[in-house]
Structure 1
């Protein structure tokens, strides 16, 4: 069954075979077509173009709206219970951010039963689909025991194949850090590895130092997991360079980078994933995305949806922050929130609308993607399609 979307005001494909503006920092940034159409066959894109419309079994006229690839959210913590709104309010009043608030969420999450956690997760996934997110990564990290970490991963696997074991998220109060790392490596990992695609660690002062982080990641790699790392969020540190050393798929946050960190990331396959909604919520400096792109690093954008430091599923909000505060152009931000996120997850079939790609796309209630930053805070996602099927938004009428 083929579906034709016609009347597209601006179709952003991120297909490197389409022409781009000479100023673009990536060969496939900004690739797009005006007054365009797109054909889907089952769950795949089969053609894009302009001019005469091809035949199809069904047709939808999007009436001049823009169409972009579905957002790829490569860093989330969606399985949790509890609320930390008062902590946010205190930060806005001047209290500094501290990672120790994670313990509050751990307690609430442990106390919640599976049905409650599943209902919360289902609601957040639906919310993210309504925001145009079609591919997502979900971490554990709010269990801190073998049983609870495995439980969170089992729930996460109900909504995504991109699950990440984050047993080393925070050192539980009253626990020796080295002893906890031993528990993560010797007991948690063997139990959780079959439920996870990746392994992650919070490499930061107040969490895990470089030796502890290396031990966790190397154990995860030995168990067949893809390494990822929370790096350089709260201050300068070894996380970004450790990511490159171990071949991590992604170094996430990257707020405080030295010249050596930037050069290392630019010379590697490790994606620098920026999480500017976190810096908004924690009053931290914003990462310098311009510096990373100009050096040749691959940049992704993600929401980092979590209850303590970034309780949002709005990729449009993240895009607006990246354009306003991280030095990215709109085209670069859109690329980073789609194809950049796909590279972080080591996917080549999402994040773009080239023929053969999965038919994940967003119809914007705007004629051009610039409105994502131009009109911040507005509900601009008219419809979200995942694998060729509309999963969010009011039904689009057939032409």
Structure 2
């Protein structure tokens, strides 16, 4: 089926054609067939459905390259305590682990679907999903299996934190992660991740985990420098990780290493909002040559938002990004963080994942924070909203 979206007031392509005014896009069987000025639209193909954008803006579908949406339980009390002054610590993850282990597959599946529908309604057309709330072989296997039902971007994060039953025996838990747990989870995953941070995993432990994943064909990602400066960025760059995520506390050496690599730095402003940590200086990072992506980090503890629009507004308001940079980071940047070139852009031959904003410009995503501005969403050429 073909769809022609015409009378687009502002078209963000993230491609060589740049931004276009008074534009049109032709979709054919899930791919972009043509992009250009509305006056140059090819002759109306037979059976083509036409959508009049009425001067509104169109952007690529958001690519959320960092989420933890397969989980059980609720941590709203923890959020309230932080708002009252309690400091965030990685150990809070363990409370979600207990609830997740107790949940059935159907309960986890229903919660995941609810969040996915919530994301899609807000313009997110591609989602990466991590495990990490099981921390035992059987539950981690369940989490990656359930995630694989809804996305091809599945990350095995058995190394989220050391579970309570392995307290003071971190190296033994790493043995489990890179042995029986990896054997069970690798068939369902594309990526491997580790939380290389004080209170989670040390540099030597993180290296063992990522190298074991690489040996099994899983590509590396790294949580790093969320709670303070550390060695995770250096390890991520050394091992060719697609993305290092958080980056709240970076050294000059970290920035230089990222700028000289093809590792994307994925910033997660919802975390800083929810934990009251300082926002990263995205302006300095971009000016320093670092490739930056934006993601929500949807999870019940440190960032329970699924709104990429909200994260864009935070990036513009508190991290020094222009709206154009923030939208790029939430679309093409997320695609680069997933090593994908078929999404995050509006160009001939790419997947037809598009968002029609109920606004004349993408600037309104930051200009009108909290306002529902997603008019229509197309996923693989099908209008899903």
Superposed displacement of residue 391, structure 1: 1.4
* Distance in 2, Cα, partners of 1:110 & 1:242: 31
* Distance in 1, Cα, partners of 2:319 & 2:233: 18
* Distance in 2, Cα, partners of 1:13 & 1:100: 41
Superposed displacement of residue 52, structure 1: 3.9
**After the TM superposition, which parts of structure 1 deviate over 3 Å for at least 4 consecutive aligned residues?**
none
Specify which of 96, 99, 109 is matched with residue 90 of structure 2: 99
Secondary structure, counterpart of 1:160 in structure 2: coil
Specify which of 290, 299, 318 is matched with residue 297 of structure 1: 290
Task: Output one character per residue of 1:248-306: Cα deviation in whole Å (capped at 9) or x when no partner.
Answer: 00000011001100000000010000001001000111111112111111110000000
Residue equivalent to 2:196: 203
1:42 paired with 2:41, answer no
Secondary structure, counterpart of 2:128 in structure 1: strand
Relative to structure 1, the CA distance from residue 174 to residue 115 in structure 2 (aligned partners, 3 Å threshold; closer, same or farther) is closer
**How many residues were matched structurally?**
379
Residue equivalent to 2:41: 53
* Distance in 2, Cα, partners of 1:52 & 1:60: 16
* Distance in 1, Cα, partners of 2:252 & 2:188: 37
* Distance in 2, Cα, partners of 1:116 & 1:156: 13
Secondary structure, counterpart of 2:164 in structure 1: coil
Residue equivalent to 2:263: 270
Residue equivalent to 1:33: 20
Task: Output one character per residue of 1:47-80: Cα deviation in whole Å (capped at 9) or x when no partner.
Answer: 1111243313111102111100000000000100
Name which of structure 1's ranges 174-183 and 135-144 shifts more when overlaid on structure 2: 174-183
1:109 paired with 2:89, answer no
1:80 paired with 2:67, answer no
1:363 paired with 2:356, answer yes
Alignment of 1:132-211 (within 5 A): 132-175=123-166, 176-211=169-204
* Distance in 2, Cα, partners of 1:230 & 1:355: 34
Alignment of 1:211-226 (within 5 A): 211-226=204-219
Specify which of 59, 62, 84 is matched with residue 71 of structure 1: 62
Superposed displacement of residue 99, structure 1: 1.0
Secondary structure, counterpart of 1:233 in structure 2: coil
* Distance in 2, Cα, partners of 1:259 & 1:318: 25
Residue equivalent to 1:335: 328
* Distance in 1, Cα, partners of 2:55 & 2:79: 40
Superposed displacement of residue 174, structure 1: 4.4
* Distance in 2, Cα, partners of 1:259 & 1:350: 32
Gaps of 5+ in 2: none
* Distance in 2, Cα, partners of 1:256 & 1:388: 40
With normalisation by structure 1, the TM-score equals: 0.94
Residue equivalent to 1:248: 241
With normalisation by structure 2, the TM-score equals: 0.97
1:389 paired with 2:382, answer yes
Superposed displacement of residue 197, structure 1: 0.1
Gaps of 5+ in 1: 19-30, 393-399
* Distance in 2, Cα, partners of 1:174 & 1:127: 35
